[in-house]
């Protein structure tokens, strides 16, 4: 293995990655390039530059990837109606493949021999990052500090930070913070009181949503227009993917939509509890099924539903770039050109209701479904249909 002279670190400017930055410098005596993907998270550019420069970093890259993130990662996932274990909208999972890809591309550009991340040794993100790293850079050296160093607790991390003059942020109660991940699709919160599933999530941890009880007493109505399987306008105003999701986050969050409190099965075999806020994504998932219901035939919809649990699991486990995920995506998108029209929804105190579906799809026939007598549907054929299935029952 060649001597490591340069390392590209996925850097947020926060406590964990600032400690990692200092540790990498001390251990490897290498130049560290700090890389931040702006995926719509609450980003403090000043803190990123200040904290990195304070530790002697010369190259700091902050890259706006919001549009690419939503268009090429979030929207394809929404088209597949992906939900992990029936409830999680995969907000963290879907972000890691893009970050990993860009880290490798930057490593190649600047001749770095290694990449590093701040994922813990018990979490899923270490797998997601590293599968992405090795897909695009099979020979790259991956440094995962949480698996290698002796800072084996949050307490030790904070002690190390204070010793090296690294700022330790506080939460709203004046204590060291929860573990928080956010991007344009969601915010996740883990750790501290949330580790005990018997205890309710404190209201102050929520950042994007009001509680349903405090949401407006009047409903909010929205209209989403679809073309080629993706939303292209909100309330009759055309928007880019990222701007549309951002606007939906704001509207849905004010209406108390998108909260999930989940005990999930991590890929590495641990159960963990997380609280997720995905306001705009929750609306998009709901609307996507609604628009598909009038534009896709039964066989296609049922096939997609069959594939969805596996598709969601692949994303959760970090297999976004796998042949299997590509194959399933191709099946999901086979008839996406047929998915178009408008969906009107009512948002009220944490709930979403369908008001109307507007589509020119030939699949939904008013004449055929009408209870009024007509000649477009021959009911006599139903008898033969039932008899055929009686025979199948006995097989």
Edge-to-edge strands of the sheet including 259-265?
A: 179-182, 187-190, 271-277, 259-265
Residue with tokens 């990449």: 115
What letters, b where the CB count within 10 A reaches 16 and e where it falls short, cover 210-221?
A: beeeebeeeeee
Would residue 357 show up in a list of annotated catalytic residues for this protein?
no
| Catalytic position from the list 37, 93, 125, 230 | 125
Distance CA 389, CA 382 (A): 11
Listed residue (21, 54, 55, 56) closest to 36, CA to CA: 21
| Catalytic position from the list 79, 96, 101, 336 | 96
Distance CA 188, CA 186 (A): 7
Listed residue (123, 126, 156) closest to 143, CA to CA: 126
Question: What would the two tokens of residue 319 be?
Answer: 């297999």
Helix (H, G, I), strand (E, B), or coil: what is residue 210?
coil
For 92, phi and psi rounded to 5 degrees? -75, -45
Would residue 211 show up in a list of annotated catalytic residues for this protein?
no
- The C-alpha angle 52, 58, 63, rounded to 5 degrees, equals 70
| Catalytic position from the list 179, 233, 272, 293 | 179
CA-based torsion, 16, 22, 28, 32: positive or negative: positive
| Catalytic position from the list 16, 181, 182, 230 | 16
Q: Beta strands of the chain (E only): which ranges?
A: 6-10, 31-38, 60-64, 114-116, 141-143, 179-182, 187-190, 220-227, 230-234, 237-238, 259-265, 271-277, 341-348, 351-358
Do residues 7 and 33 touch, judged by C-beta distance below 8 A? Answer: yes
Would residue 297 show up in a list of annotated catalytic residues for this protein?
no
Would residue 394 show up in a list of annotated catalytic residues for this protein?
no
Question: What would the two tokens of residue 321 be?
Answer: 């770039």
Which residues are part of the catalytic machinery? 16, 96, 125, 179
């Amino acid at each position: 293995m060649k001597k490591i002279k340069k390392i590209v670190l996925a850097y947020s400017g926060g406590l964990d990655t600032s400690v990692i930055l200092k540790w990498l410098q001390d251990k490897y005596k290498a130049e560290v390039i700090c890389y931040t993907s702006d995926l719509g998270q609450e980003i403090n550019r000043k803190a990123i530059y200040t904290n990195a420069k304070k530790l002697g970093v010369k190259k700091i890259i902050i890259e706006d990837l919001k549009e690419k993130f939503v268009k090429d990662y979030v929207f394809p996932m929404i088209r597949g109606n992906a939900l992990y274990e029936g409830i999680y909208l995969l907000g963290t999972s879907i972000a890691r493949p893009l970050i990993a890809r860009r880290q490798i591309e930057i490593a190649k550009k600047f001749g770095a021999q290694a990449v590093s991340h701040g994922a813990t040794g018990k979490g899923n993100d270490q797998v997601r990052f590293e599968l992405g790293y090795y897909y695009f850079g099979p020979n790259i050296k991956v440094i995962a500090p949480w698996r290698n160093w002796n800072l084996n607790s949050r307490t030790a991390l904070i002690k190390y930070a204070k010793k090296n003059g690294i700022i330790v942020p506080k939460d709203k109660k004046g204590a060291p913070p929860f573990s928080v991940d956010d991007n344009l699709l969601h915010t996740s919160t883990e750790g501290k009181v949330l580790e005990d599933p018997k205890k309710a999530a404190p209201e102050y941890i929520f950042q994007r949503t009001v509680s349903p009880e405090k949401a407006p007493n009047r409903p909010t109505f929205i209209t989403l227009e679809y073309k080629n399987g993706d939303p292209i306008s909100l309330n009759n105003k055309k928007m880019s993917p990222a701007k549309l999701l951002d606007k939906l986050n704001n509207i849905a969050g004010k209406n108390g939509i998108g909260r999930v409190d989940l005990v999930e099965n991590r890929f590495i075999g641990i159960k963990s509890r997380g609280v997720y806020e995905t306001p705009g994504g929750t609306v998009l998932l709901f609307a996507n099924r609604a628009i598909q219901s009038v534009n896709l035939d039964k066989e296609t919809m049922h096939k997609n539903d069959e594939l969805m649990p596996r598709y969601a699991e692949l994303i959760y486990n970090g297999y976004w770039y796998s042949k299997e995920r590509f194959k399933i995506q191709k099946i999901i998108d086979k008839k996406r050109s047929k998915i178009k029209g408008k969906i009107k929804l009512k948002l009220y105190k944490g709930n979403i209701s369908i008001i109307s579906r507007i589509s020119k799809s030939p699949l939904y026939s008013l004449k055929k479904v009408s209870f009024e007598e007509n000649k477009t549907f021959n009911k006599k054929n139903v008898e033969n249909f039932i008899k055929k299935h009686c025979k199948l029952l006995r097989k």
